[in-house]
Structure 1
Amino acid sequence: MSGAHDHDGGGHGHTHGVSADSDKRLLTAALALILAFMAGEIVVGVLARSLALISDAAHMLTDAASIALALVAMRLAARPPRGGYTYGLTRAEILSAQANGITLLVLSAWLTYEAVRRLINPPEVTGGMVLGTALAGVVINLGATWLIGRANRDSLNVEGVFQHIVTDLYAFIATAVAGLVVVLTGFGRADAIASLLVVALMVKAGAGLVRDSGRIFLEAAPAGLSPERIGQALARRPHVVEVHDLHIWQITSGMPAASAHVLVALGEDCHAVRHDLEHVLEKDYQITHTTLQVDHASEQLLTIERRHCDDPHGPSHRRN
């Protein structure tokens, strides 16, 4: 006897309905705030000859692009499944997160080059303009951070935008410090040093986004979920003889899924065992998207140590 069941519970972390609309409104407000300030910062940065300000403005441009991309991804992810896209376009949000991470890394490489060049040949920097603009930037970014921080950060898409904004906030703080140093001491290289500090933060945030989105694209198990431990836990459940072809992955952020082939002792109720395993996966591991193929074990499997499948994928888990 065999059975496959897809169980869709309500415990996963992706957003629907009102909360998704709320996220869109929050991100749109943050986008408007950032675009308005960015335009003014570019003008001041050119007049003050400040790389730190120009780099902040460039980072704000990527902030704006990341928010716009996130909004597009949200719209695509909300579309119902159609045709060959049986899960819809939910992974559009992961593409957005990966693009945000790559953008941060590429921008950090360019800023590193410019900062090193200015450390060697520092231009004259107008410290007062830098300090005033940076302090205004801190206020703007605090507002944008507050707006996006209210959205659902379980979504890697929203988290990618949040990392952009937070990094930009740190950048403005570093730029304000650099401007103050220039005003008080005339040390022009402080501007380039501030840029390098910001680069370090950008690399950390960008690498984290690329790593996390890459794990989803490569069908890796979500962080904190060990397929080996879960397989052993399922194999110890009543009437389970063996669990193999166990796969655990994420459809998108907050949507873990699992599939497995389960062999049940002869004479036992396969449907009851399947429901029990689904309950364990949902209650203990918050996996609500499950597909379990359940069969009775053969007499040969029960008496001889051999595999049920000729070509199993991954280890088999059996009761100890």
Structure 2
Amino acid sequence: MGHNHGHDHGSTPLQADRGTRRRLLIAFGITAIIVVAQAVGSVVTGSLALLTDTAHALADASGLLVAVIAATMMLRPPSSKRTWGFARIEVIAALGQAVLLIVVGSYAAIEGVRRLFEPADVPGTELLVFGVIGLIANIAAIVVLASRRGDNFNMRAAFLEVLNDALGSVGVIVAAIVINTTGFQRADTIAALFIAALIIPRAFTLLRQTVKVLMEYAPTGLDLDEVRDHILELDHVRDVHDLHASMIGTGLPVISAHVVIDDQCFESGHAPQILEEILTCVKEHFPVSIDHATIQLETAAVRDRESPAVRHA
């Protein structure tokens, strides 16, 4: 007595195109150069700000490498065992980046507080040189990623990483100028704390977003109570239960529901028309347009035979 609807599982809008992967590869190469240059600079200068920015750049490079791997795996098509392919791997990759950034930011904050009381002697000129190198490289990476930053979690995370790393380089440059002009050595520590302040909030935001997807929260902006009420307004619909909505990944919201309709709709052949009305309702009447919906039409008798544990939501 069920009518199921769903789009072909053989394709998904989440599959990364090769242009996205190429941009990620270029950005990874640039960021890897930044890591090497700033690592040398942090050893030469002893700067905490530069060391923190190096750790940040290392986290960025690692995240971009993971993003490249994720983008490559997302090109692999779905199969009978992996019905969504590797669509969700970009979410897992972004989660790993968020955790890494939280660790880096926390270390920078703790070490920065310690150095406020024990400032190190940092050569301003050398610090300025490495800060400028880092900023130029980060700007190049930003240009590469900017046009595709909204594609998915991976691209969004990658763009934000290099953007914040560029701001970190600005902090290093400012600290170097202050040290050169005033001799105020704590400027280096303040810059390190500034970089940590950039890292941690962004990391927690990304963490929250990815956890919501993995926990299969309803898509942001979609009110399931409103969806239920709207479907119940349709003629011949008597009940809506087992209603679920979630995100497989960026750009792929899905919804499923059991909808009870009048018995005579199955006898008269009216059920397919009701199904089309429900699908149109789900796709067009809400802030989140859902192209992939699975709707089971059933009679009240079928609903009543379902286990209470199944018949929920």
- Verify same fold: TM over 0.5: yes
Aligned to 1:156: 153
Aligned CA distance change for structure 1 residues 152 and 178 (closer, same or farther; 3 Å): closer
> Deviation of residue 85 (structure 1)?
2.1
- Give 2:226's match in structure 1, choosing from 223, 226, 229: 229
> Deviation of residue 191 (structure 1)?
0.7
Q: Name the SS of the counterpart of 2:78 in structure 1.
A: coil
Aligned to 2:171: 174
Aligned to 2:271: 270
Aligned CA distance change for structure 1 residues 288 and 223 (closer, same or farther; 3 Å): same
Distance 1:152 1:125 in 2: 36
Aligned CA distance change for structure 1 residues 308 and 283 (closer, same or farther; 3 Å): farther
Aligned to 2:291: 288
Q: Does 1:188 align with 2:188?
A: no
Distance 2:146 2:13 in 1: 16
Deviations 1:260-299 (A, max 9, x none): 000112323111111111122222331111111012345x
Aligned CA distance change for structure 1 residues 82 and 39 (closer, same or farther; 3 Å): same
Q: Name the SS of the counterpart of 2:36 in structure 1.
A: helix
Question: Which shifted more, 278-287 or 246-255?
Answer: 278-287
> Deviation of residue 13 (structure 1)?
5.7
The 8 Å contact of residues 74 and 93 in structure 1, kept in 2 or not, is answered as yes
Q: Name the SS of the counterpart of 1:79 in structure 2.
A: coil
Letter in 2 for 1:31: F
> Deviation of residue 107 (structure 1)?
0.7
The 8 Å contact of residues 60 and 161 in structure 2, kept in 1 or not, is answered as yes
- After superposition, where does 1:32-111 map in structure 2 within 5 Å? 32-111=29-108
Aligned to 2:6: 6
> Deviation of residue 70 (structure 1)?
0.5
Letter in 1 for 2:109: T
Q: Which runs of 5+ in 1 are unaligned?
A: 302-306, 316-320
Letter in 1 for 2:3: G
Q: Does 1:124 align with 2:114?
A: no
The 8 Å contact of residues 13 and 155 in structure 1, kept in 2 or not, is answered as no
Give the number of equivalent residue pairs: 304
The 8 Å contact of residues 270 and 296 in structure 1, kept in 2 or not, is answered as no
Q: Name the SS of the counterpart of 1:251 in structure 2.
A: strand
The 8 Å contact of residues 49 and 195 in structure 2, kept in 1 or not, is answered as no
Letter in 1 for 2:121: E
Aligned CA distance change for structure 1 residues 230 and 308 (closer, same or farther; 3 Å): farther
Letter in 2 for 1:193: I
The 8 Å contact of residues 34 and 64 in structure 1, kept in 2 or not, is answered as yes
Aligned CA distance change for structure 1 residues 175 and 152 (closer, same or farther; 3 Å): closer
Distance 2:6 2:98 in 1: 33
Percent identical: 29
Q: Structure 2 length as normaliser, TM-score?
A: 0.91
> Deviation of residue 226 (structure 1)?
1.4
Q: Name the SS of the counterpart of 1:122 in structure 2.
A: coil
Question: Which shifted more, 229-238 or 247-256?
Answer: 229-238
> Deviation of residue 200 (structure 1)?
1.4
The 8 Å contact of residues 224 and 243 in structure 2, kept in 1 or not, is answered as yes
Distance 1:296 1:220 in 2: 28
Q: Name the SS of the counterpart of 1:3 in structure 2.
A: coil
The 8 Å contact of residues 241 and 258 in structure 2, kept in 1 or not, is answered as yes
RMSD: 2.1
Aligned CA distance change for structure 1 residues 274 and 234 (closer, same or farther; 3 Å): same
Distance 1:3 1:213 in 2: 32
